[in-house]
Amino acid sequence: MDKENCVVQSDPVTGLPNRFAFLKALDDELHGSNGEAKGAVMVIDLDNFQLVNETYGLRVGDEALCQIAENIANFMPPDVLLYKLDVDQFCLFWPEAMPEEMAIVYSSLQLSLREIPAIADKIYCTATAGVAMYPTDGTDADTLLKHARAAKTIARLEGGDRIGLFEQNAYEAWKYTVIMQGLMKTSIARGCENFFLYFQPQVHADTGKLYGAEALLRWRSESGEILPPLEFIPILEKTRLIIPAGHWIIEEAVKACKKWQKYLPDFQMSINISLYQLEEQMLCAFVEDCLQRYEMEPKSIVLELTEGQSVSNWDFVNEQFAAFRRLGIQIAMDDFGTGYATLNFLKRFECDLIKLDRFVIEDILDSEFNQNLVKYSIKLCHSLGYEVCVEGVEEAEVYHFLRDECKADAIQGFYFGRPEPEEIFEKRLIQQ
């Protein structure tokens, strides 16, 4: 269908003019007033409309769409036209409108959706809207529509059933995530190209002697910049790419551990595992196979469960980790004291080792209260039968306090070494 034909077309269900008509009318508006046009573009997307079609059929869906379209039009001044963008998306531009007016229109729409006759007693229907203002957020129709839609998508990611105004910073952050998802996917498809592991020393608290390392993931961007995991692990988790990446991480970490046991036979490797990785039922079998291939004793491996997500099914998590523990692998609770890693976690999660988060100890020298908090947290863990590794130790004084007063078992922190590339860690190990 050529563009000219599309322009004259209207949506067969509602009779509203379509996207092409919208873009043309908006372009005319923008060019008609010597570039001085001001106003708002709004996109309205029904959040769960497919449920209407799937549950009650297309006829009810079509009727509801017509009633919704009529409702939106009723909230607008008579000269503002409504257009149909997609199956359940509408859009409009309102010359001279301010963001506050768009918010009022949206609120009226939000309320009216509860009363759409065709679906009122059937489905709780909501809508998410995105607004871009002209000329500030764009000076051509394509850009304005793109930005209004992006504002809508971001508002939906925040839970939907709300209106979002285009905001350049939020848009850049969202675009970054979308682009990163693509880059991560390509990297992983190419055998985890550009991913690599850093290793941070772990030492016995009483002697300060190195006994192992934590493997920490990094990713190198095209420009050569090395990204820390907090910038991409959430993306890997959300897309479940953490599952194939996790295999690679385990394989590489076990390989390095094997190599370093030549220098230190009891060398231990800690590997981070996020809850998403447990969704893969075969993870335990994969780890077992990996250990066999490298002839590695299971006790050399510690799996650290990183918090970051609340656990809804403890039985499932404990079953998975029980399988690892039966093999002889040790399990650690990471980041204890922050986020979701709380007393509740301690009560429900069956593990061998607790890693005290660095935020718990960062201001330990400031007050006796802070010192007591750490000291008695460690005491609590010990009395429950767990070993404790304290993270984030940067100063000698803190180390001495943790060693002498708190009787911590292990220390990991910049004071003993930062996360470093494999070759550099290896030199450290050989020289110690």
Residue closer to ligand C2E, measured from CB, 163 or 205:
205
Is residue 314 exposed (0-12), middle (13-18) or buried (19+ Cβ within 10 Å)?
middle
Query: Residue 233 binds what, of ligand C2E, Mg ion, none (CB under 5 to 8 Å, by partner type)?
Result: ligand C2E
Q: CA torsion, points 57, 60, 66, 69, in degrees to nearest 10?
A: -80
- Shortest CB 202 distance to ligand C2E, Å: 10
103 and 157 Cβ atoms separated by less than 8 Å:
no
Query: What are the structure tokens assigned to 155, written together?
Result: 């508002």
- Shortest CB 317 distance to Mg ion, Å: 16
Residue closer to ligand C2E, measured from CB, 88 or 391:
391
Is the N-terminal amide bond of 135 cis, ω within 30° of 0? yes
- What is the C-alpha to C-alpha distance for residues 37 and 409, in angstroms, rounded to an integer? 68
- Shortest CB 411 distance to ligand C2E, Å: 9
Residue closer to ligand C2E, measured from CB, 39 or 212:
212
Residue closer to Mg ion, measured from CB, 137 or 304:
304
Query: Residue 149 binds what, of Mg ion, ligand C2E, none (CB under 5 to 8 Å, by partner type)?
Result: none
Closest to 273 (Cα-Cα) out of 312, 245, 293, 292: 245
Residue ranges in 215-293 assigned as alpha helix (H): 233-238, 242-260, 275-278, 283-293
- Shortest CB 351 distance to ligand C2E, Å: 14
SS3 of 42, please? strand
Binding residues (CB under 6 A) for ligand C2E: these are 200, 216-217, 228-230, 233, 249, 272-274, 304, 306, 334-335, 358, 391-394, 412-414, 419
How far is residue 62 CA from its own chain's centroid? 36
Query: What are the structure tokens assigned to 432, written together?
Result: 């110690």
SS3 of 124, please? coil
Position of minimal CB gap to Mg ion: 304
Which residues on adjacent β-strands are paired with residue 93? 41
- Shortest CB 110 distance to ligand C2E, Å: 38
Binding residues (CB under 5 A) for Mg ion: these are 272, 304, 334-335, 355, 391
Residue closer to ligand C2E, measured from CB, 131 or 233:
233
- Shortest CB 393 distance to ligand C2E, Å: 6
Query: Residue 228 binds what, of ligand C2E, Mg ion, none (CB under 5 to 8 Å, by partner type)?
Result: ligand C2E
How far does the chain reach from its first CA to its final CA, in angstroms? Answer: 73
CB atoms within 10 A of CB 323: 15
Query: Residue 409 binds what, of ligand C2E, Mg ion, none (CB under 5 to 8 Å, by partner type)?
Result: none
Residue closer to ligand C2E, measured from CB, 216 or 406:
216
